[in-house]
Amino acid sequence: MRVMLSPNWRSKMKKYKTITYTGGSGNSYDFTGYPSDTHFKALGAVYIITSRYQNIDGGYSHDKIFIGKTGDLYGRFASHYKLSDFQNHNANSICIFRENDEQRRLQIESDLLDNYSPPCND
C-alpha cells in the first residue's frame, strides 16, 4: 500500500523507532520518525522526509528524500514548496530532530547534506 503526503497532516502522534543519521563531520543525530500525516506543534527542528518501507527481514528502512530545517513545524509540510516532489518519491515519513537554536539547525542541516544527497535537495 502506498501512503502519500497529505495536505491535512493530522493524525495521532504515532512514533517510529529512533533513527540515527550521521553528518559529513562524523557527528550522529538521533531523529524520531513519524507518519507523514502527523500534525506537529510549533517547534524548531531539522527534518528528513523519507520513504519508509519494510525489509524482507521484517525491519524497516528509510530512503532519504529531503533534508531541511524550520523554526516552526506546525503547518510546515501542508504547503511545502517540494510537496509534489515528495509525493513523486513515495514520501510517507518525517524524521524529526528537535532543535530550538536557528544557527544550530543550520549547522546540522549542512552537516547532514555533506553526507547525504537526497533527490529533492537542489
Distance (Å, rounded) from C-alpha 42 to C-alpha 36?
A: 16
Distance (Å, rounded) from C-alpha 69 to C-alpha 65?
A: 14
pLDDT tens digits, 6-40: 444 344 567 888 999 999 999 999 999 999 888 88
What angle is formed at CA 17 by the lines to CA 13 and CA 21, rounded to 5 degrees? 115
pTM, two decimal places: 0.86
- 109: helix, coil or strand? helix
pLDDT value at residue 78: 74
Q: Which secondary structure element, helix H or strand E, spans residue 112, and what is its range? A: helix 102-115
Cell of 62: 528509510
pLDDT tens digits, 41-99: 889 999 999 999 999 999 999 999 999 999 998 876 777 889 999 999 999 999 999 99
Q: What is the mean pLDDT of the segment spanning 96-120?
A: 97
Cell of 117: 544527497
pLDDT value at residue 53: 94
Distance (Å, rounded) from C-alpha 50 to C-alpha 74?
A: 18
Q: Which residue has the cell 524548531?
A: 44
pLDDT value at residue 94: 94
Identify which of 103, 38, 33 has the alpha carbon closest to the alpha carbon of residue 69: 103
* Strands, E assignment, 55-116: 60-70, 93-98
